[in-house]
């Protein structure tokens, strides 16, 4: 994976600033125009493409007429109702196009825009303004601005993004007032660079030749981004001043996975991206078919197939391999990389990048699980680290450090696709204390006016026998369970998984371990919360059917194992896996269980 993006300039790249000094359109030195430039913004829709920029700049706000003479009011009212009619007509045309090619949810977006356009209260209010001698343009702008103000003041980012929808409709309406139809035809392989795009514009441009787009406006949950994803159009959004930095005709590479844009790429860069694209295409060819198929059993039980990852880049592989979420982000990776605890700000940046890159898929962030075999310099060595100060124990001892992580996770949660997971819980009081701290963090964020998802799910790692045995009690305070079978096995059987002398004792399919899994699932069902496995056993071919039969609804494995795991899930019947699990739970040795599974597999 390409890691050189660290040198990439931020959206408002300082090196571009000199250009804005003089407004007179002096042709820039051709050499500098052709210099390779990299920009980094928000990846909104996956895929890598190369193409030519078509820059569409926002129309200037119309000149607002002074008070209209009374005799012109009637004409102005007519102009307004004509504009509404032709704008609605345009949207209805797009809608009829849309219904054949895109999911119902997207068609519903355009339908709602038609409703907005025809909204009688707003139209009445606009006509009332015109009746007082205000021009149609100004009446539309004033009324929409007033409505937008209300939405912009909402606490909720979802609702604030709705203000953008109103802006789109306002702009379309103004364009129709000036009798400007949409320019919808662009040459093949065009990459649109524009302040923002409406769903209908995306539909129309996609029909002609647009292969990707870059916008100045952001919002990965906006209709623009949702539509790009459902049409598989690579898109990078939120690049401020994109239309200033990029000229029409500029060759561009858009990396919708990483959120990277390269203008005037050097031949070496092009070669590199051709390689990257062909690698991704190969993966797509290899796994594409299986990656796109739903992850469910032959009898229709849906299984969330998640990926365990360490780095932001792992997300691309996970998605290409068909993950429906990230089941485990090992945040220790950040400590190892920095060789110290990261600051809150560093974490916010990292978690936000994870959330944005994976969006709309959920991302499960596990709180720092340091200690045990993952020792770091910052900690004093212990004689028996696996049974020492690790996971939640260490976090609660260094509360300020834990609080900074909780705050960072929450601050990255406003897209509502983040879950937080607590490692090494062994008692109810640990979970209670952790939740109290989380509430404190939420309150402090509220006080500071920082945005977050107050309903961010808090999950418990079930990786000690005590947690499994107490799952009924823990479940009352947990939003989900994730079973770490590696540690659960090692603690249940008192066998170090890294010690070859006891390797024959360490067995994730030992009846004792399976019974603990069963207890955990029963408790999860009692509380109606999701339960899954993120340990290595989730990826074992022999164990898939058994885990499904035990009632797991999430399996999380390293990305390379995803396609095979999904194939196995899709071959399994949930009904017969339940029978298998019930039978196997009666057995009294791991070897017996393995034999039984092997027989099952041969059949």
**Residues at the site binding other proteins, with contacts judged by CB under 8 A:** 105, 108-109, 111-112, 115-116, 119-122, 147, 150-151, 153-156, 158-159, 162, 165-166, 223, 416, 455
Asked if 537 and 485 count as a contact pair (C-beta separation under 8 A), the reply is yes
Q: Got the DSSP string for 54-113?
A: EE-PPPPPPPPP-SPPHHHHHHHHHHHHHHHHHHHHHHHHHHHHHHHHS-HHHHHHHHHH
Active site annotation includes 87: no
- Closest distance of CB 237 from other proteins, Å: 18
Q: Which of 223, 304, 414, 540 is catalytic?
A: 223
- Closest distance of CB 414 from other proteins, Å: 12
Active site annotation includes 534: yes
- Closest distance of CB 196 from other proteins, Å: 16
- Closest distance of CB 518 from other proteins, Å: 28
- Closest distance of CB 165 from other proteins, Å: 6
C-alpha R_g of the chain: 28
For the chain, the residue count is 603
How many Å apart are CA 535 and CA 328, to the nearest integer? 10
**Residue 106: both structure tokens together:** 């997207």
Q: Residue 157 or residue 427: which is nearer to other proteins going by CB?
A: 157
Q: Residue 158 or residue 526: which is nearer to other proteins going by CB?
A: 158
Q: Where are the alpha helices (DSSP H) in 341-414?
A: 344-358, 392-397, 399-411
Q: List residues bridging with 554 in a β-sheet.
A: 304, 532
Cα dist. 297→520, 551, 567 in Å? 22, 12, 10
- Closest distance of CB 91 from other proteins, Å: 13
Classify 524 as helix, strand or coil.
helix
How many Å apart are CA 285 and CA 270, to the nearest integer? 22
Q: In what order do the strands lie in the sheet with 210-215?
A: 37-40, 260-263, 251-255, 48-55, 190-194, 210-215, 235-237, 42-45
Cβ burial of 512 (10 Å; 0-12, 13-18, 19+) is: middle
- Closest distance of CB 457 from other proteins, Å: 11
How many Å apart are CA 28 and CA 294, to the nearest integer? 51
**Residue 22: both structure tokens together:** 């003089």
Catalytic residues: 223, 534
């Amino acid at each position: 994976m390409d890691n050189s993006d660290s040198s990439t300039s931020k959206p408002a790249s300082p090196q571009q600033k000199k250009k804005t000094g003089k407004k007179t359109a002096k042709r820039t030195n051709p050499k500098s125009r052709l210099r390779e430039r990299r920009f980094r913004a928000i990846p909104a829709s996956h895929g890598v493409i190369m193409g030519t920029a078509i820059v569409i700049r926002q129309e200037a706000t119309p000149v607002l007429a002074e008070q209209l003479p009374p005799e012109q009011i009637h004409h102005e009212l007519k102009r307004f109702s004509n504009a509404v009619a032709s704008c609605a007509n345009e949207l209805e045309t797009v809608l009829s196009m849309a219904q054949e090619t895109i999911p119902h949810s997207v068609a519903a977006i355009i339908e709602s825009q038609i409703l907005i356009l025809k909204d009688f209260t707003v139209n009445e209010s606009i006509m009332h303004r015109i009746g007082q001698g205000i021009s149609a343009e100004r009446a539309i702008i004033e009324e929409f601005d007033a409505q937008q103000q209300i939405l912009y003041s909402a606490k909720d980012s979802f609702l604030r993004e709705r203000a953008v929808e109103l802006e789109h409709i306002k702009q379309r309406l103004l364009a129709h007032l000036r009798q400007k139809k949409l320019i919808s035809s662009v040459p093949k392989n065009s990459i649109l660079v524009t302040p923002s795009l409406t769903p209908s514009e995306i539909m129309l441009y996609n029909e002609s030749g647009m292969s990707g787009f870059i916008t100045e406006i952001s919002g990965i949950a906006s209709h623009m981004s949702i539509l790009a994803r459902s049409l598989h159009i690579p898109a990078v959004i939120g690049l401020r001043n994109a239309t200033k930095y990029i000229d029409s005709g500029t060759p561009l590479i858009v990396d919708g996975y990483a959120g990277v844009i390269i203008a005037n790429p050097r031949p070496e860069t092009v070669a590199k991206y051709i390689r990257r694209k062909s690698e991704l295409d190969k993966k797509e060819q290899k796994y594409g078919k299986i990656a796109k198929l739903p992850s469910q059993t032959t009898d229709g039980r849906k299984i969330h197939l998640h990926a365990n990852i360490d780095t932001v880049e792992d997300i691309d592989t996970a998605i290409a391999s068909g993950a429906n979420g990230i089941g485990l982000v090992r945040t220790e990776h950040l400590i190892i990389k920095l060789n110290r605890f990261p600051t809150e700000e560093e974490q916010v940046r990292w978690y936000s990048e994870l959330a944005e890159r994976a969006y709309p898929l959920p991302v499960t962030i596990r709180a720092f699980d340091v200690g045990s075999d993952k020792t770091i310099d910052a900690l004093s060595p212990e004689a028996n680290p696996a049974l020492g100060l690790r996971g939640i124990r260490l976090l609660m001892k260094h509360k300020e450090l834990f609080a900074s992580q909780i705050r960072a996770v929450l601050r990255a949660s406003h897209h509502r696709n983040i879950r937080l997971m607590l490692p090494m819980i062994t008692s109810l009081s640990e979970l209670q204390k952790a939740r109290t701290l989380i509430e404190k963090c939420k309150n402090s964020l509220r006080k500071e006016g920082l945005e977050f998802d107050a309903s961010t799910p808090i999950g418990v790692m079930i990786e000690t026998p005590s947690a499994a045995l107490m799952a009924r009690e823990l479940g009352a305070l947990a939003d989900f369970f994730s079973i770490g079978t590696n540690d659960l096995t090692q603690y249940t059987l008192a066998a170090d998984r890294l010690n070859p002398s006891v390797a024959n004792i360490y067995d994730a399919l030992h009846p004792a371990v399976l019974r603990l899994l069963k207890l955990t699932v029963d408790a999860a069902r009692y509380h109606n919360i999701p339960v899954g496995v993120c340990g290595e056993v989730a990826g074992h071919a022999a164990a898939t059917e058994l885990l499904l039969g035990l009632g797991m609804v999430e399996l999380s494995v390293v990305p390379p194992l995803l396609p095979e795991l999904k194939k196995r899930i899709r071959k399994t019947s949930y009904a017969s896996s339940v029978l298998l699990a019930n039978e196997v739970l009666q057995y009294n040795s791991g070897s017996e269980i393995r034999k039984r599974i092997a027989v099952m597999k041969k059949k």
